[in-house]
Structure 1
C-alpha cells in the first residue's frame, strides 16, 4: 500500500498554501509571541479548532496536537536576489545562496501545533519543543491588553495561510491517522524527542560531559553521610553571626567554582562574616538585628531567606522536623549539580552539621549510576521534576562534525541516538 505521508506531501501542501518555515520564524518575532484574532480571522480559528475536535482529546481544556513538517523557503521565496545585490546587501548570487543556507540549514523543520480552548478562550500554540514560536488566540494572556486585531495586514494573511494549511492537513490526518503516526515516528528528529541514556554510556561517548569535582573522595563522604542520615551533632541555637560564617564558606566555594570558568569575582575584603554577608547581599545585618540573638535570626530568616540562595542553590539553617539546627544545602537546577556538590563539600570540610538534600540523587550522578534525560527543553530544569539526574538537549545532526566548534562529532551523535531509550511519540486518534 502506498504511503500517504512523506516529505514530498508536506512540502507540496505547504507550497500550495504559500507557507514555509521562515514564515513561522518571523511570526515568532511578534511581540509577546501572541497574535490576537478577531472578526474573520477569529472565525478561521474556530473552524480549524472544530476540525481538531475530530481527534481525541489529549489533555485538559480540549487539548489536541500533532507534529507538522514544514519546508524551508525556496531561494525565490526567501527574497529577491537581484534587488538585494542592487541595494548592496549581498555581493553576488553565490553570497545570497550562502546566506540562505545559513538561515535555512535544514530542508524541513518540524513543529508541534497544539489546540486548546477554555470557555470562550481559544488558542493555537506553535512550538519546536525547545521554545514557543507564537500563539494565535482571541484572548490575551497579558494584563490590560485589549484584542485589537493585527498590527499589520501581513499577520492576518499569514494566519489565513496557516489555517488553510492546517485545515487541509487535518482532512488527510483524519482519513489516514495510522499512516500519519507512523511517518512522525520514523522521521521526527531526535533533537525533538524525549528519551534517556545511562550516564556511564553518555560519559563514555562524550567524556567532557562527566560531572567532576575537585575533591571527589570527600564529596562522596559528605553525600553518603547525608544519604544515610549520619549527621553531625546540630547546634543548640542559631544566630546571624553563626549563620553568616557558613554562608561565607559556601559563597567562597561558589565563587571559586565560577572562577574556574573564567568569571572574575568582585574583591571582598570584609573582616567579619556578617560584614561579608552585607557585602554580598547589600543588607546591613549588624545595624538591623542583634546578630547573636536566635529570635533575631528567625526574624532575619523571615525577612531575607529569599535572598540566601546562590542562584537557586540554597544555603539555609534549619531546625525543621529535628531538634537542633543544621546547615542545609538545597539545589534546584539540575545544571548546577557539580556546583552544589562543591559547595556542600566545602561546608562538610568546615565541620558544619550538614544536611544535603537529594544526596542520594547527587551521589548516583557522581558515581555514574543514574540516567540522563534527553529532552528538547532544558532551560531552568528542576532536579525533582524527573527521575533522571540531569538533562541534555541533543544538538541538531547538521550541527555535528569534526570542526572543533561542533558540539559533537557525527559518530558521537549517532552513538547517543543508538544507545538511548526513546519514549513513544504521542499518537493522534480519530474519534469514532
Structure 2
C-alpha cells in the first residue's frame, strides 16, 4: 500500500494550525474536502450520520522533518543531540504514524475528524470570505484517501492495516487477574485498604442484593439521617475528621459543596426533607456527591423514596474509588441502613480480579467507553501500558478490526 510522502511531523503541524477553527471558509479547501467526501461515498458506511472510516498511514520521516536541532538547543528544550533524538523517537516511536479518518454528514453539513478530533466542517454555503488557507492539509487528506481506495481496489488495504496498525490504536479487553499477574504491584496497591473478611462479607451481600432496590425501607428521611449515613461511609474509609467533626462538618469537608440548599433545612424534620426533595427547583447542584471527585471518580449517595418508604442508592464504580465504595456499602449495611449498590456485581468481579479491563486507543480518554464494548459489561478502561507491553498484548483479547468494503 502506498504511503503519502508528507511526513507525520508536517501533518501534525498543519493539524496544530487548524485546531479550534474547523469551519471551511475558502473555496479551494471546500472543493478539496468536497471531492474527498465524494470519494468516501464509495465505501460502506457504519452507524449513524453516514459515518465512514479509513486508517491513514504517514511516514515518520527523518529527524530533520521533526525539527531543527539548533532551534531546540537555543530554546532550551534539549541540551544535546542525543536528547534531541530521544525527543524525536518519544514523539514518533514507530516508523509509521496512523491517523483514523472519520467522515459524517448531518443536516447537509460534512464533518471530518482525525483521531476523533474535528478538523473540517463544510457547510453548503461559505459563511464569509476568510483568507485562511488550509488547502495543504485538505490536499494531503484527498491524496491519502486516493491511496487507501486504490489499495482497497487491489485487495491490499485491509490486510495492510491488519498487519501494521499498532496495538496502541486497537480495542481489546484483558482479564484483571491476568493484568495483576503481569503487574502484581497493582493488585497489592488496589487491595491494601480492604481485608479478606470485608471482601467475603461484600461478596455475600452482593449475591443476595435485589435487582433494583433494597428489600427494606426507612419510614422517613431527614437531613440528619442523610448526613449521619454519609458519616458511616467516611468513617469506614478513615476520612480526615471522622473522630473530631460533626456529621455536617464532615459533609462540608468531603462532599462536592453544591448542596442545593440541603444544609439549610431543619435537621430533624422529615416533612422539610420531603418538601426539599420533591422541589424541582433544587436540581442545579450536586447534593448527593458525598465524596467529591471528577466526573467519573466521585462517590454518590442518593436518597430515594417510593410508596413503601425511603432508602439509599450508592454509586461509585471507578477503579480508583471502588474499594472506598465497597467499604461505604458495608458500613451502611452493618448499621441496618437500606442501600442499593449500583454495579454491585461488577464491583465484586473487580475485587476478585474476574472482570475485564477495556483497552482503548491512545487518543481516546479511558472513561465512559462502554460504547466501544456494546455487548460486554465493562466499566473500567485503560490505554495499552508502556511497561511489559508485549506481555499485555499477548494476554489481551483483541477486537477484530472493522473491514472496509466498497458500497
**TM-based fold match above 0.5:** yes
Range with bigger deviation, 365-374 or 20-29 = 20-29
Find 2:140's aligned residue among 156, 161, 164. 161
Counterpart residue number, 2:299? 313
What is the CA–CA distance in structure 1 between the aligned matches of 2:31 and 2:161, rounded to whole Å? 29
Find 2:195's aligned residue among 199, 215, 221. 215
Whether 2:381 is the aligned partner of 1:429: answer no
Whether 2:273 is the aligned partner of 1:300: answer no
Note closer, same or farther for the CA distance 1:202–1:64 as it changes in structure 2 (3 Å cut): same
What is the CA–CA distance in structure 2 between the aligned matches of 1:78 and 1:101, rounded to whole Å? 10
- In the alignment of these two chains, the number of paired residues is 383
Range with bigger deviation, 112-121 or 207-216 = 207-216
Q: How far off is 1:427 after superposition? A: 0.6
Superposition map of 1:265-344 within 5 A? 271-278=245-252, 280=255, 281=257, 283=259, 288-302=264-278, 303=282, 306-309=286-289, 310=291, 311=293, 312-320=298-306, 323-331=308-316, 333=318, 335-344=320-329
Counterpart residue number, 1:172? 150
TM-score under structure 2 length normalisation: 0.80
TM-score under structure 1 length normalisation: 0.76
Find 2:24's aligned residue among 29, 32, 36. 36
Contact 1:270 1:276 in 2 (8 A): no
Contact 2:172 2:397 in 1 (8 A): yes
Q: Which structure has greater helix proportion?
A: 1
Whether 2:11 is the aligned partner of 1:23: answer yes
Find 1:181's aligned residue among 158, 165, 178. 158
Contact 1:274 1:286 in 2 (8 A): no
Q: Deviations over 1:404-425 (max 9, x none)?
A: xxxx23xxx2222222221110
Find 1:71's aligned residue among 51, 59, 64. 59
SS in structure 1 of the partner of residue 53 of structure 2: strand
Aligned-residue CA RMSD (Å): 3.4
What is the CA–CA distance in structure 1 between the aligned matches of 2:223 and 2:404, rounded to whole Å? 58
Note closer, same or farther for the CA distance 1:287–1:246 as it changes in structure 2 (3 Å cut): closer
Q: How far off is 1:98 after superposition? A: 3.9
Q: Which runs of 5+ in 1 are unaligned?
A: 141-145, 257-264, 400-407
Contact 1:27 1:134 in 2 (8 A): no
SS in structure 1 of the partner of residue 218 of structure 2: coil
Range with bigger deviation, 50-59 or 296-305 = 296-305
Counterpart residue number, 1:236? 219
Counterpart residue number, 1:402? none
